[in-house]
C-alpha cells in the first residue's frame, strides 16, 4: 500500500496529490522496470507466500469482506463471483484474466501489463490458489503485441523462480498460465465471447443463463473471468486484509479505482483514487486541470463509451443517508452506486469529457460507427439495429435527415435494449437512448423537413441523392 507521495516518480509523471496509488503504485515509478528482480526487490511475491499458507476458503472470504467489485465493467463483487463455483464440482476450474481492454475510453490495464506485469501475475496466482484453478489464461487483444511479449517473459521468469509450475514454493499447488492473443474484436472482451474465442471458435457470446462462466465456462467447466485491475487488487487484499481494504473508498464502493480521462480537458490521463472520494467536478477541474480555455462543460460519459451520457445542467436525485438530495453533474461522487443512481454507470472507468465545441450528433455518430462495426451479428436487433443507428446519425451529421429520423433513431435503440443475447445490445443502445433524450433539440435542429419523404418516396431526385450517399 502506498500513498502517492511516498515514492519517487518520473519527472512530469508524478501522481496528483489527491491520488491514492495502490494498483498503479509502480506505474511511471523512477528506476522501475517490469523484470522480476525489480519486483522482488520491492517486496514482490510476499503476498503469494502469505496466501499459500492460508486456507483457500479464507482467501475467498477475505476477498468477499474487502467488498472488491469487478473493474471490467459490471462492478460485480469479485468474492461473490468466486463463490459461484459449484460446491461439489469435480471438473477442472479455470481462471481467465480479461486483458482485452476494448471499451473505448479505457486505457488502464495496458499500463499495468507494460510496467508491472508481476503484480498481475501475483494477483492471478493467488486467485487461482483460492479458486482451485491449476490452469489460467491471460486473454489479450491483438493490438497489444508488446504487452503479450512482456507477459510471456514475466511468466518465464516466474517459472525460473518457482512461482509457477509444479509444487509452487513447496505448497503442493500446481499452476500454469498461458497468454492467449485475440484477433482484435470488441466482443472478445465480453466474457462468454472471450471463452468461445479461447476455445478456438468465433466469439459468439453465450446466453446467460445458463452459461454463467463460474458454473459453465471454458470447455463447460467452472471458469472465473476477472479484469486485470480486479486481479491486481487481490494481492493488496492479502497484504492488508479484507477488512482494512474495505475501509478504502466508501461503503459498498471500496478500494481504489483507476479512472482514465480523455476528451476536452487540459490534462487527460489516468488517476487512481479512492472510490467515491472525488466528485466529477474535482476530477475535471483539479486532477485534469480543467476544461480547455474558454470552453464550457457540455456532457460527460462516465464509464466507457457504452455508459449513458450525463448532461451539464441536469439535476440528479441521490440518497444521502436517509435523505434524498438533488445534485448537479459536477457534484457526483465517482462511485458505482451514485453513477447508477444518476442513470449511468461507472463501467470500465473510462471518463470521456465533452465541451461545448462538440455537436452531440457528431459524438453519437462516432460511437455508433464503432458499435455497428463490432456487433458479432448473432442477434438480429443488434446486428441490424447497430447499423441502422449508425446510418441515421450519419445522415444527421451530414444535414440530410428528416425530423422523423430522430424518433426512428430512438425507436431502433429501444428495440435493441434488453432483446439480445449479450450486454453488447445495451452497450450500443444506451448511447443513442441517452444522447437523443438529453440533446433532442440539438438533434432536431440538425434535421430538415425537406427530407421527410426521402425514405417513403425513394424515386424523387432528392431522396435518390440522399440514399445513395449512405454506406
Residues that bind ligand FMN (CB under 6 A): 70-74, 76, 78, 98, 100-103, 186-187, 189-191, 225-227, 230, 422-424, 427
For residue 197, the minimal CB distance to ligand SF4 (Å) is: 13
429 binds ligand SF4 (CB under 6 A): no
Q: Closer to ligand FMN by CB, 34 or 349: give it.
A: 349
Separation CA 348–CA 104 (nearest Å): 9
- The residue range among 35-43, 71-79, 276-284, 414-422 that interacts with ligand SF4, by the rule CB under 6 A, is 414-422
Q: Closer to ligand FMN by CB, 226 or 402: give it.
A: 226
- Using CB atoms, what's the residue nearest to ligand SF4? 382
304 binds ligand SF4 (CB under 6 A): no
- Count of helices and strands (H, E) across the chain: 18, 13
382 binds ligand SF4 (CB under 6 A): yes
Buried b / exposed e over 146-177, threshold 16 CB at 10 Å, is ebbebbeebbebbeebebbeeebeeeebebeb
Separation CA 323–CA 328 (nearest Å): 16
Residues in the chain: 471
Separation CA 198–CA 332 (nearest Å): 39
- The residue range among 125-133, 287-295, 355-363, 378-386 that interacts with ligand SF4, by the rule CB under 6 A, is 378-386
383 binds ligand SF4 (CB under 6 A): yes
For residue 396, the minimal CB distance to ligand SF4 (Å) is: 23
421 binds, among ligand FMN, ligand SF4, none (CB under 5 to 8 A by kind): ligand SF4
- The residue range among 29-37, 67-75, 268-276, 377-385 that interacts with ligand SF4, by the rule CB under 6 A, is 377-385
What separation in angstroms does the CA of 56 have from each of 59, 259, 381, 399, 462?
A: 5, 31, 43, 61, 69
For residue 217, the minimal CB distance to ligand SF4 (Å) is: 17
Separation CA 404–CA 397 (nearest Å): 15
R_g (Cα) of the chain, nearest Å:
23
Separation CA 342–CA 319 (nearest Å): 10
For residue 194, the minimal CB distance to ligand FMN (Å) is: 7
For residue 427, the minimal CB distance to ligand SF4 (Å) is: 8
For residue 417, the minimal CB distance to ligand SF4 (Å) is: 10
What separation in angstroms does the CA of 353 have from each of 5, 312, 342, 347?
A: 27, 11, 17, 15
| Residue 23, CA atoms < 13 Å, CB-side half-sphere | 32
What separation in angstroms does the CA of 409 have from each of 361, 414, 422?
A: 11, 9, 21
CB neighbourhood size of 296 (10 A)? 11
194 binds ligand SF4 (CB under 6 A): no
361 binds ligand SF4 (CB under 6 A): no
Separation CA 465–CA 168 (nearest Å): 68
Q: Closer to ligand FMN by CB, 66 or 230: give it.
A: 230
56 binds ligand SF4 (CB under 6 A): no
382 binds, among ligand SF4, ligand FMN, none (CB under 5 to 8 A by kind): ligand SF4
Instruction: Please select the residue that binds ligand SF4; options are 44, 73, 425, 431, rule is CB under 6 A.
Output: 425
71 binds, among ligand SF4, ligand FMN, none (CB under 5 to 8 A by kind): ligand FMN
Separation CA 22–CA 6 (nearest Å): 12
73 binds, among ligand SF4, ligand FMN, none (CB under 5 to 8 A by kind): ligand FMN
420 binds ligand SF4 (CB under 6 A): yes
185 binds, among ligand FMN, ligand SF4, none (CB under 5 to 8 A by kind): none
For residue 454, the minimal CB distance to ligand FMN (Å) is: 33
Instruction: Please select the residue that binds ligand SF4; options are 375, 402, 432, 447, rule is CB under 6 A.
Output: 375
Going edge to edge, which strands form the sheet with 269-274?
Answer: 269-274, 256-263, 350-355, 297-301, 310-311
| SS3 letters across 309-376 | CEECCCCEEEEECCEEEEECHHHCECCHHHHHHCCCCCCCCEEEEEECCCCHHHHHHHHHHHHHHHCC
Q: Closer to ligand SF4 by CB, 218 or 422: give it.
A: 422
> Phi, psi (5° rounding) for residue 116?
-140, 55
Separation CA 89–CA 131 (nearest Å): 11
Instruction: Please select the residue that binds ligand SF4; options are 376, 387, 401, 409, rule is CB under 6 A.
Output: 376
What separation in angstroms does the CA of 280 have from each of 285, 300, 418?
A: 9, 9, 29
189 binds, among ligand FMN, ligand SF4, none (CB under 5 to 8 A by kind): ligand FMN
105 binds ligand SF4 (CB under 6 A): no
Residues 128-187 that bind ligand SF4 (CB under 6 A): 187
For residue 425, the minimal CB distance to ligand SF4 (Å) is: 4
Q: Closer to ligand FMN by CB, 224 or 291: give it.
A: 224
Q: Which residue has the cell 454506406?
A: 471
| Positions that interact with ligand SF4 (CB under 6 A) | 187, 205, 375-379, 382-383, 420-422, 424-425
Amino acid at each position: 500500500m502506498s500513498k502517492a507521495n511516498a515514492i519517487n516518480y518520473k519527472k512530469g509523471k508524478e501522481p496528483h496529490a489527491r491520488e491514492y496509488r495502490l494498483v498503479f503504485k509502480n506505474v511511471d515509478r523512477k528506476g522501475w522496470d517490469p523484470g522480476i528482480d525489480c519486483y522482488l526487490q520491492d517486496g514482490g511475491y510476499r503476498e503469494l507466500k502469505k496466501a499459500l499458507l492460508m486456507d483457500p476458503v479464507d482467501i475467498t472470504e477475505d476477498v468477499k469482506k474487502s467488498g472488491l467489485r469487478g473493474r471490467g465493467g459490471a462492478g460485480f463483487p469479485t468474492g461473490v463471483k468466486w463463490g459461484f463455483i459449484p460446491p461439489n464440482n469435480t471438473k477442472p476450474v479455470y481462471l481467465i484474466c480479461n486483458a482485452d481492454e476494448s471499451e473505448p475510453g479505457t486505457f488502464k490495464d495496458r499500463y499495468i501489463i507494460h510496467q508491472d506485469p508481476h503484480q498481475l501475475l501475483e494477483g492471478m496466482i493467488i486467485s487461482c490458489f483460492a479458486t482451485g484453478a491449476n490452469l489460467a489464461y491471460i486473454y489479450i487483444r491483438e493490438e497489444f503485441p508488446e504487452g503479450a511479449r512482456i507477459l510471456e517473459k514475466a511468466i518465464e521468469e516466474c517459472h525460473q523462480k518457482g512461482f509457477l509450475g509444479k509444487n509452487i514454493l513447496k505448497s503442493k499447488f500446481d499452476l500454469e498460465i498461458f497468454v492467449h492473443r485475440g484477433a482484435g474484436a470488441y466482443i472478445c472482451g465480453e466474457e462468454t465471447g472471450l471463452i468461445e474465442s479461447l476455445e478456438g471458435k468465433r466469439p459468439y457470446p453465450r446466453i446467460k443463463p445458463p452459461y454463467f462462466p463460474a458454473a459453465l465456462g471454458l470447455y463447460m467447466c467452472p471458469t472465473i473471468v476477472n479484469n486485470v485491475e480486479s486481479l491486481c487488487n487481490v494481492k493488496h487484499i492479502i497484504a492488508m486484509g479484507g477488512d482494512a481494504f474495505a475501509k478504502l473508498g466508501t461503503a459498498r464502493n471500496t478500494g481504489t479505482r483507476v479512472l482514465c480521462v480523455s476528451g476536452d480537458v487540459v490534462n487527460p490521463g489516468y488517476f487512481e483514487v479512492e472510490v467515491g472520494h472525488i466528485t466529477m467536478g474535482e476530477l475535471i477541474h483539479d486532477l485534469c486541470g480543467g476544461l480547455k480555455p474558454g470552453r464550457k462543460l457540455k456532457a460527460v460519459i462516465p464509464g466507457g463509451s457504452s455508459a449513458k451520457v450525463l448532461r451539464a445542467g441536469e439535476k440528479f436525485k441521490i440518497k444521502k443517508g436517509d435523505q434524498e438530495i438533488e445534485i448537479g453533474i459536477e457534484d457526483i461522487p465517482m462511485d458505482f452506486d451514485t453513477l447508477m443512481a444518476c442513470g449511468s454507470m461507472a463501467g470500465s472507468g473510462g471518463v470521456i469529457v465533452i465541451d461545448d465545441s462538440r455537436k452531440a450528433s457528431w459524438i453519437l455518430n462516432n460511437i455508433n460507427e464503432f458499435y455497428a462495426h463490432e456487433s458479432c451479428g448473432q442477434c438480429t436487433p443488434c446486428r441490424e439495429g447497430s447499423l441502422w443507428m449508425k446510418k441515421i446519425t450519419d445522415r444527421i451529421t451530414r444535414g440530410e435527415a428528416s425530423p422523423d429520423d430522430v424518433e426512428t433513431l430512438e425507436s431502433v435503440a429501444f428495440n435493441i435494449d434488453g432483446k439480445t443475447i449479450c450486454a453488447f445490445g445495451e452497450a450500443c443502445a444506451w448511447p443513442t437512448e441517452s444522447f437523443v433524450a438529453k440533446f433532442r433539440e440539438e438533434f432536431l435542429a440538425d434535421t430538415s423537413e425537406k427530407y421527410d419523404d426521402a425514405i417513403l418516396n425513394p424515386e424523387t431526385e432528392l431522396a435518390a441523392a440522399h440514399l445513395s450517399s449512405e454506406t
